[in-house]
Structure 1
């Protein structure tokens, strides 16, 4: 069985017509019909219902179609990743989520640049979910994100579990807990701003999942476009907001940041890369991460 046979079969299923599939594949109808028949003989099953118009798959054919699509998709992704790996020489593209600019990422990138002056670093802002596809398509080579997303083609290394803090106005009644901290169960009746209002999963999804894990249901959880807007609303006395600890360095007036005491209240910072990518820049970036973490006493 060859990949072209799978492409022929998938095209016939999707076009629901031998004639239309042949036109799309730029071949004539008789050879296409013969290839489909040959595939059926090799598999020992009927893939299509005989005489059906439009063409319909059998139950076994539909099952085979789903797996054929996966095989073709994985093959295309593997080809793209292999090409990217083979061409990485003087440039490394790094994807990142914007909130990590308030954490240690800038230090890591700066150190990487100092230790690898011959390599050009291109930073590309994109969400954790988008990083997975960008890695598989060869658009980026490394990704720094916050979400728990898994994919068989991608290796994910959890670098740090960053605690969350609660941002409130300095005159908010919860501000009295700035020293002792709060539990999430204490804020479920508050107006809570979450961010970003973008394709899920995102940081807002993480916050919702933490509440769910604790068996809590916030009375009012409102998504806004980005962290600046969320903190701006809190600064105006509008509500409260959960943020990663490092984001408390954002200089906005009238805000105080309260520790969140729940063990589950953290945001994982992870590095994602292509599985089996043994490029030298991978080891180099990991060394820079270790150095920066040691300098900042992060275990």
Structure 2
């Protein structure tokens, strides 16, 4: 059995017609029919219900179709990643979630550029979920995100746990509590979450944090992005939970108060392909930990 046999079979299933599949594949119908017959003979089963209009698969054919699609997808991922590994021009493409631009990521990337002037570095903003698929397809080489998403093809390294804070208007009573407050203190407040794009995302993480402490906030409103959420807070419309690094966003009448709950942290993960042990990736780790050393941030280097 060869990959082309799988492509032929998948085309026939999806087109529900040998004639249409042959046109899609740019081959004549008789050879296509023979290839499918040979495939059925090799498997010793019937893949299509004979005489059905439109053409339908047997239960065994449907099972084979689902796995054929997966195998073809894996083959394309392997081809794309292999091409990328063999590229003459040295390029490292980094996916990242937008909130990390307010933290140490810009310094890490700048240092990485300075230490590797002959390396082309590209930055692409994307959600953590999209980073996983982009890594598998070879569109990026490394991803920085905040969500715990598991995939056997991806290796995820926890870089650090970033404390969370609450952004409040300076007229709010909590603005005077510089030492910090607890999640239980804000359950009756209007709380803005972000982003509101498909889950899971940072808003999912915040909701989970309340659930972990068996708390049910009275009012949670999702908005498009962090800047909008903080703008609404600055307008006195409510409050917002943000990573500590968001303190660099300064707006009039905006205050940041620490959250004192032990679990009030947002993890920062680096994701790479499971078998990727390139020197460029190791050099990126060096840049990360050099910046962490300068900031006195604790980390576990044994994970790489």
Q: Tell me if TM exceeds 0.5.
A: yes
Match of 1:41 in 2: 41
Q: 1:92 to 1:176 in 2, by over 3 A?
A: same
What pairs up with 1:45-56 in 2 under 5 angstroms? 45-56=45-56
Match of 1:227 in 2: 226
Match of 2:262 in 1: 263
After superposition, what is the alpha-carbon deviation per residue over 1:59-103, rounded to whole angstroms, capped at 9, x for unaligned? 121112111111111111111111112116333221222211121
217-226 vs 63-72, which moves further: 217-226
Aligned residues: 298
Q: Equivalents in 2 of 1:219, 1:197: separation in Å?
A: 18
What TM-score, normalized to structure 2?
Answer: 0.92
Measured after TM superposition, the shift of residue 176 of structure 1 is 4.1
Q: Equivalents in 2 of 1:44, 1:219: separation in Å?
A: 61
Measured after TM superposition, the shift of residue 24 of structure 1 is 0.8
Measured after TM superposition, the shift of residue 296 of structure 1 is 1.2
Secondary structure (helix, strand or coil) at the match of 2:118 reads coil
Q: Which runs of 5+ in 2 are unaligned?
A: 299-304
Measured after TM superposition, the shift of residue 286 of structure 1 is 0.7
After superposition, what is the alpha-carbon deviation per residue over 1:240-283, rounded to whole angstroms, capped at 9, x for unaligned? 00000111121122222222222332211111122212221101
Match of 1:118 in 2: 118
Q: Equivalents in 1 of 2:255, 2:227: separation in Å?
A: 15
Structure 2 residue 197 is matched with structure 1 residue 198: yes
Measured after TM superposition, the shift of residue 210 of structure 1 is 2.2
Match of 2:301 in 1: none
Q: Equivalents in 2 of 1:243, 1:86: separation in Å?
A: 41
12-21 vs 247-256, which moves further: 247-256
Q: Equivalents in 2 of 1:126, 1:155: separation in Å?
A: 18
Measured after TM superposition, the shift of residue 6 of structure 1 is 0.9
Secondary structure (helix, strand or coil) at the match of 1:87 reads coil
What pairs up with 1:1-299 in 2 under 5 angstroms? 1-87=1-87, 89-179=89-179, 181-299=180-298
Measured after TM superposition, the shift of residue 230 of structure 1 is 0.7
Q: Equivalents in 2 of 1:29, 1:99: separation in Å?
A: 54
60-69 vs 239-248, which moves further: 60-69
197-206 vs 3-12, which moves further: 197-206
Secondary structure (helix, strand or coil) at the match of 2:157 reads strand
Measured after TM superposition, the shift of residue 231 of structure 1 is 0.7
What TM-score, normalized to structure 1?
Answer: 0.94
After superposition, what is the alpha-carbon deviation per residue over 1:118-146, rounded to whole angstroms, capped at 9, x for unaligned? 11222222222222222233322221111
RMSD after superposition: 1.7
Q: Equivalents in 1 of 2:88, 2:196: separation in Å?
A: 34
Q: Which runs of 5+ in 1 are unaligned?
A: none
After superposition, what is the alpha-carbon deviation per residue over 1:206-257, rounded to whole angstroms, capped at 9, x for unaligned? 2222223333332221111211111111111110000001111211222222
Q: 1:74 to 1:212 in 2, by over 3 A?
A: farther
Secondary structure (helix, strand or coil) at the match of 1:268 reads strand
Q: 1:44 to 1:264 in 2, by over 3 A?
A: farther
